[in-house]
Amino acid sequence: MISTTAASRRLREQADRRKRIIEHTRALAEAEGWDNVTTRRLAEAIEYSQPVLYSHFPGGKTEIMNAVALLGFTELAAAATSAAAQHATDRPRLLAVITAYLDFAAANPAVYTAMFALPISARFASEHSDHELQTAFASIVTVLGQGSTPPRDVETAAELLWSSLHGLATLERDERLRQSAHHSRIKRLVDLFAEAT
């Protein structure tokens, strides 16, 4: 029979290995792109055998990408919530959240790609969505709902804001928009949503 202490240590070691796999995957994807992330390269980078890697992520690369994406949603929600908490009034709070979102996307392009463009198993726009997605969406809903006159349908407004932010983040990353107009676009987006609320 395994002692409680040994079982607890084993769980901590498994969690640590899982965390290391996710961190190395993320670092490799940010440095070289998702096409260069393979289970073989990961196993070599973290000095685990491929069977050990698959014991933590039976779905292989796709399951690891999903874990990276969910971590990204957690970080995005934290960034938006922290940004909003620093301001007491509507416009500055909205500006802070929009800026935090775009800054996160720009600073973590591979993670952002995993969150929105790669074939992951996360379910979007559903009551069965992963907790991390619900928390990220709630951070957008909250900032719009805190306005002096919140939108009648705050969730639809949040979907529109999120869609706008995603479009800006993607087009700016791909250099499809004028870099010189970055701050003007943010200001106009704040104007649009502040007027709507």
Residue that terminates a domain, selected from 24, 40, 58: 58
pLDDT at 46 (0 to 100) = 87
Range of the domain at 42: 1-58
Are 134 and 188 found together in one domain? yes
Residue 2: band (very low, low, confident or very high) from pLDDT cuts 50, 70, 90: low
* 35-54 tens-digit pLDDT: 999 999 999 988 888 998 99
Tell me, letter by letter, the H, E, C secondary structure of 145-161: HCCCCCCCCHHHHHHHH
pLDDT at 173 (0 to 100) = 95
pLDDT at 197 (0 to 100) = 61
**Could you tell me the sign of the dihedral formed by the alpha carbons of 45, 50, 55, 57, in that order?**
positive
pLDDT above 90 for 148: no
* 77-113 tens-digit pLDDT: 999 999 999 998 999 999 999 999 999 999 999 999 9
pLDDT at 10 (0 to 100) = 87
Q: Is the pTM of this model over 0.85?
A: yes
Rounded-to-integer distance, Cα 101 and Cα 192, Å: 17
Per-chain mean pLDDT for the chain: 93
Lookup: tokens for 39: 């289970």
Are 1 and 43 found together in one domain? yes
Are 76 and 125 found together in one domain? yes
CATH of the domain at 15: 1.10.10.60
Are 102 and 140 found together in one domain? yes
* 66-86 tens-digit pLDDT: 999 999 999 999 999 999 999
